[in-house]
Structure 1
Amino acid sequence: MANKNVELMRGEPEIAVRKLAIPIMISMLLTASYNIVDGIWVAGLGQAAIAGIGFVTPIFMILNGVSVGLGNGATSSISRAVGAKNHDGASKSAAHSLFIFLIASIILTLFLITIQEPLLRAYGASGQALVEGLKYGTPLFAGLFAFMFGNGGSGILRGEGDMKRAMYAMIVSVVLNFILDPVFIYVLGLGSAGASLATIVSSLGSAMVIMYWILIKKDTYVDVNLKEFKFDSKIAKDILKVGIPSSLDMLMMSIAMSFYLMFISAIGGEYGIAAFTSGQRLYLFGIMPLTAVGSAVATVSGSSFGAKNWEFLKRTHTYGTKFAMMMSLAITVLLVIFAPQLALIFAYTPDTAPLIPEITNFLRIASFGLLLVGIGMPSNFFYQGIGRGTTSLAWTIIRELILTVSFTYLFGMVFNWGLTGIWIGLATGRIIASIFNYIYARYTIAKLKPVMTQGSA
């Protein structure tokens, strides 16, 4: 059994990476707009509500990372089965992925509902901010299954190369969130709770659409029959060997971010934090197209690896790297040239106008890290595609927690170069890590040649 998405994955890798990356880019841009819309409506709730939601946000980011990470595990397992022309294996991987999403949702929901108050207090939440944080967090954690199945279900679709429908599901979520945010927050007067309820209902809409395609309409490549489901620990381990390390990526990034914030606060206080936070939003926006290319590389690499087609595996990584490099060059040029204009997005009032020079400085220095992140990002996703999630996680740790944290501390604190030193450290750590990551990926591909060619002989 095959469809046009599966045939695309099995075809010329350059065409597959290019065609699969575009819908993912659109999905990520929609995700960015999702966050912007949330921010606009939440801003009207007052300082205590904003602070309360802010205390919950790091937890939500990690939870979202878990759902995306488990989805990546599904993508890797299914795409490798697709490449091996193992339809039954792909279908079983999809069924086991749904089972894993369910179990993870139950465990995390019970755990977070139980510890949310002491956790928020540990973060420093108190008074009305604590009350607002609990109002926001309780519905969010209770409805965790919605974005677990939404993000995880998208991973199943990506595994069979169906990026377009994953994008359509995201459109459903964004449109619902745009409509429901003001209704729940202000019309129904639910405030902070309304903000999280809008997020849950929007994610639920996306999840229901995906589950309809997979379980009811059954027009996907994978054929999931829950009545015939039999748990197989080997299949579950195959999904989790990528899913768990991928889920931990966001945790590693959060830990690294805490170090950056400590250094920046010590040097530049609130001014430095505000400049970094604003510039980082633009930087992360710039990374989205590179992440989209990486996601396409993961899917096509998995298919090539499953098919034991070493030549296609090598070409997938080579083209993905070139594609990402071209995009990173264009993005870097835009961020550097238009840095003052872009800074105005987050500093358009008299109170925030003094931030413009430092946001501009951040963009014109830190953005150079994107130039070579273009070769590191596809390599990270390549490891996930071939089922080596721990290798991908290791490179995230090397890039952010070891090299970038070290260089920001060295240039900013030891050399006393101030905020400029921090920005240089961000670029330097990521550039060096990306170079070594690329070299290791090429080494990995070379080592796979005898194994894959013998297996296909």
Structure 2
Amino acid sequence: GAALATIISQALVTIIFIYFLFFQKQSYIIFNFKSFNYDSIIIQKIFRLGLPASLSMIIMSMGLMLFNGILGSTKAVAAYQTAGRIEHFFFLPIISIATALVTLVGMFYGANRMDLVNKIVKYGISRGICIALSFSLFFFFFADNFIPMFINDIQIIELTVLYFKIMAFAYPFITIGMTSSRVMQGLGHANPMFILTLFRVIIISASLAWYFVIILEKPVHYAWVGSLISCILTSLISILWLQKIIRRSLKST
């Protein structure tokens, strides 16, 4: 049922996009198949920017499987999965901001307006951090109240609440890392997104979770402490990397 609903919803959205793009023509770009010419250079650029982002999503899926294996018990996995679903309320606006930054930064960068690139980056990251802090406060102080609305099992509720108590501190750093990666993608540098995702999910987060839970035999919530540490470290790396790329771009313009 869930799979069928997903297919139907995706199909409906695709039909709506096709209607507005090709029939209603309510977009900045008017598509005309007669004007299309094959250009291998453009195709290469698309793959160079898109492939690292696709690989990043694969790494996220691999990290999820690793975490499920490390957590071990069904209750811990259930708590982790439940928290991940609820976290979508936080990720949706942050992903929207980060995705919009790719287009805006690419547009201003292509026009050699690095002044506007700096302005839009500061605006996007600052607003994203404000949203993240709001969610952090809400999840930290009210997780005990709303988690029982989704789960009946006491142990799963306790683990899910503990997850939010820990990860609430990570949301501002997640925002910085996500938006910085997308800005670098807009500037034509897609590899940082792949490298940072690999570093955060596999090298730091999964490794620390395995070390804490399996080697040191700590409680399962130490796996989320590992995630918090990885988010902090990669956000610092991402913002420094972004600043370096922007400085280099300013010199070249």
Normalising by structure 1, we get a TM-score of 0.53
Structure with larger Rg: 1
Question: Equivalent residue of 2:220, what SS?
Answer: helix
Specify the code of the residue in structure 2 equivalent to 1:372: F
Contact 2:97 2:128 (8 Å CA) reproduced: yes
Specify the code of the residue in structure 2 equivalent to 1:251: I
What CA deviation, in whole Å up to 9, does each residue of 1:237-256 have, x standing for no partner? 22222222212221110111
Candidates 231, 235, 249, aligned match of 2:42: 235
The answer to whether the aligner puts 1:357 opposite 2:158 as a matched pair is yes
Contact 2:167 2:228 (8 Å CA) reproduced: yes
- Distance (Å, rounded) in 2 between the aligned partners of 1:228 and 1:447: 36
What CA deviation, in whole Å up to 9, does each residue of 1:63-118 have, x standing for no partner? xxxxxxxxxxxxxxxxxxxxxxxxxxxxxxxxxxxxxxxxxxxxxxxxxxxxxxxx
The equivalent of 2:97 in structure 1 is 293
Question: Equivalent residue of 2:37, what SS?
Answer: coil
* Long gaps (5+) in structure 1: 1-40, 43-194, 453-457
* Long gaps (5+) in structure 2: none
- Distance (Å, rounded) in 1 between the aligned partners of 2:13 and 2:221: 42
Q: 1:202 to 1:399 in 2, by over 3 A?
A: same
- Distance (Å, rounded) in 2 between the aligned partners of 1:278 and 1:203: 23
The equivalent of 1:186 in structure 2 is none
Contact 1:287 1:370 (8 Å CA) reproduced: no
Aligned-pair distance for 1:371?
2.3
The equivalent of 1:447 in structure 2 is 248
The equivalent of 2:179 in structure 1 is 378
Contact 2:151 2:157 (8 Å CA) reproduced: yes
Candidates 197, 200, 210, aligned match of 1:399: 200
Aligned-pair distance for 1:443?
1.3
Q: Please show how residues 23-422 of structure 1 align to structure 2 within 5 Å.
A: 42=2, 195-196=3-4, 198-265=5-72, 269-348=73-152, 352-422=153-223
Aligned-pair distance for 1:393?
1.4
Aligned-pair distance for 1:387?
2.2
Specify the code of the residue in structure 1 equivalent to 2:16: V
The equivalent of 2:228 in structure 1 is 427
- Distance (Å, rounded) in 2 between the aligned partners of 1:375 and 1:301: 16
Specify the code of the residue in structure 2 equivalent to 1:334: F
State the 4+ residue runs in structure 1 displaced beyond 6 angstroms: none
Normalising by structure 2, we get a TM-score of 0.93
Specify the code of the residue in structure 1 equivalent to 2:29: V
Contact 1:297 1:381 (8 Å CA) reproduced: yes
Question: Equivalent residue of 1:418, what SS?
Answer: coil
Q: 1:202 to 1:271 in 2, by over 3 A?
A: closer
Aligned-pair distance for 1:421?
1.0
- Distance (Å, rounded) in 2 between the aligned partners of 1:342 and 1:381: 32
- Distance (Å, rounded) in 2 between the aligned partners of 1:246 and 1:205: 25
- Distance (Å, rounded) in 1 between the aligned partners of 2:33 and 2:156: 55
What CA deviation, in whole Å up to 9, does each residue of 1:3-55 have, x standing for no partner? xxxxxxxxxxxxxxxxxxxxxxxxxxxxxxxxxxxxxx65xxxxxxxxxxxxx
The equivalent of 1:107 in structure 2 is none
Superposed CA RMSD: 1.7
- Distance (Å, rounded) in 2 between the aligned partners of 1:202 and 1:279: 24
- Distance (Å, rounded) in 1 between the aligned partners of 2:102 and 2:168: 25
Aligned-pair distance for 1:207?
1.5
Contact 2:97 2:124 (8 Å CA) reproduced: yes
- Distance (Å, rounded) in 2 between the aligned partners of 1:425 and 1:334: 22
**Aligned pair count?**
253
Contact 1:405 1:429 (8 Å CA) reproduced: no
Aligned-pair distance for 1:361?
0.8
- Distance (Å, rounded) in 2 between the aligned partners of 1:396 and 1:207: 29
Q: 1:304 to 1:412 in 2, by over 3 A?
A: same
- Distance (Å, rounded) in 2 between the aligned partners of 1:401 and 1:284: 21
